[in-house]
Homo-oligomer: A and B are copies of this chain.
Amino acid sequence: MTWDYQQAAQFLHDRDGFLLLTHRRPDGDTIGCAIALCLALRKLGKTAYVLPNPDATSLFAPYWGEVLAPADFQPDTVVSTDIASEGLFPVNAETYKGRVDLCLDHHPSNTGFARYNCVEADKAACGELIYRIVTVWFPVDAHIALPLYVAISTDTGCFVYSNTTPHTHRVAAALMETGIDYAAVNKRHFRTKSYIRLRLESRMIETMDLHDEGRTAIAAISLSDMAEFGAAEEDVEDIAAVVGQLAGVHTAVTIRELKPGECKLSVRTAADLDASRVCSLLGGGGHAAAAGCSVMGSVAEAKAAVLNAIRQVRDHG
């Protein structure tokens, strides 16, 4: 059943005993939304908790506060924030499949897996929807505004991605007016990089191959690069963006050697080449502007395979 944000607000207002779910490999939007909604429900006098997420990294550690559910908590009402499908539940939320009462989301691909589904697909961040729901009850205070600002800023790359809308900016303005330290959030998430991350990026740039008069760029991170810098998974988060920012490049490929003989490829393209067609030639898929695939082989073999696929799609459509 599909609901608008006012129906969702009324439902939340009428129920109690809330458990809030976040998605696998959680980002600032899912975490910020769950924390903010939890604090708002408590302000309404409700019992509310967020289910701990085993994939959560230290990046969002400052925002959790006291919202995590104790192991023996038995919810009456289960709500998901920023989760497009049950396939994205973290492992410890498997038990709630088929049992979500209300799904709050902004993904166009949302499967409508809950009893009631409130999906605003025109919003850059799910945080914009949570803001609308909370302000049905009361003006947001700084405690609720901080995680919502984290949600909205991280899902838009700090208002730089093309998903950003006037509504995004207006909600940000209202959140900032509560007196939150948004400068600290911006510094932490958008103006800070680890030495390991910078070394990895430098290595990618230094060893990048340019083809087709600079229009095709292929960068790679090998297992030995990872070992040399002592890099962990969190150090390579969204690292495909490094090649994607290169001026004049129409096709940007980032190769990660996952284990000896197996590479994961990310392909980003401008309008003149379909990334999903390139990746489908290699057994993968995705969208026209961003797709992915795996190649069994070394980094050098993966480079050769993807370059061949790019030229095949370009020359033969």
* A158→B186 CA distance, assembly (Å): 11
Asked if A54 is at the interface of the complex by the 8 Å CB criterion, the answer is no
Given contact pairs A169-B170, A172-B169, A173-B169, A193 touches B246 in the complex (Cβ within 8 A): yes
Query: For residue A186, which residues in chain B have a CB less than 8 angstroms away from its CB?
Result: 160-162, 164
Given contact pairs A166-B176, A170-B170, A205 touches B198 in the complex (Cβ within 8 A): yes
Asked if A191 is at the interface of the complex by the 8 Å CB criterion, the answer is yes
Cβ contact within 8 Å between A160 and B190: yes
Asked if A206 is at the interface of the complex by the 8 Å CB criterion, the answer is yes
Asked if A201 is at the interface of the complex by the 8 Å CB criterion, the answer is yes
Query: For residue A191, which residues in chain B have a CB less than 8 angstroms away from its CB?
Result: 160, 244-245
Chain B residue nearest to A156 (CB atoms) is B159
Cβ contact within 8 Å between B160 and A166: no
Query: For residue A161, which residues in chain B have a CB less than 8 angstroms away from its CB?
Result: 186
Q: What is the copy number of this chain in the assembly?
A: 2
Q: Which of B158, B203, B206 contacts A160 (CB 8 A)?
A: B158
Residues of chain A from 157 to 194 with CB closer than 8 A to chain B in the complex: 158-162, 164-167, 169-170, 172-174, 176-177, 182-183, 186-187, 190-194
Cβ contact within 8 Å between A195 and B170: no
A202 to chain B minimum Cβ distance, whole angstroms, is: 4
Cβ contact within 8 Å between B166 and A174: yes
Cβ contact within 8 Å between A195 and B169: no
Query: For residue A250, which residues in chain B have a CB less than 8 angstroms away from its CB?
Result: none
**Interface flags, A202-238, vs B, CB<8A=1, else 0:** 1101100010001000000000000000000000000
A158 to chain B minimum Cβ distance, whole angstroms, is: 5
Asked if A199 is at the interface of the complex by the 8 Å CB criterion, the answer is yes
* A192→B160 CA distance, assembly (Å): 12
* A182→B163 CA distance, assembly (Å): 11
Asked if A247 is at the interface of the complex by the 8 Å CB criterion, the answer is yes
Chain B CB count within 10 A is highest, among A160, A191, A194, A248, for: A160
Query: For residue A190, which residues in chain B have a CB less than 8 angstroms away from its CB?
Result: 160
* A158→B190 CA distance, assembly (Å): 11
Query: For residue A246, which residues in chain B have a CB less than 8 angstroms away from its CB?
Result: 192-195, 198
* A295→B187 CA distance, assembly (Å): 31
* A193→B243 CA distance, assembly (Å): 10
- Sorted from nearest, which 8 A-B pairs have the closest CB atoms? A162-B183, A202-B202, A166-B173, A169-B173, A169-B169, A159-B159, A202-B205, A158-B160
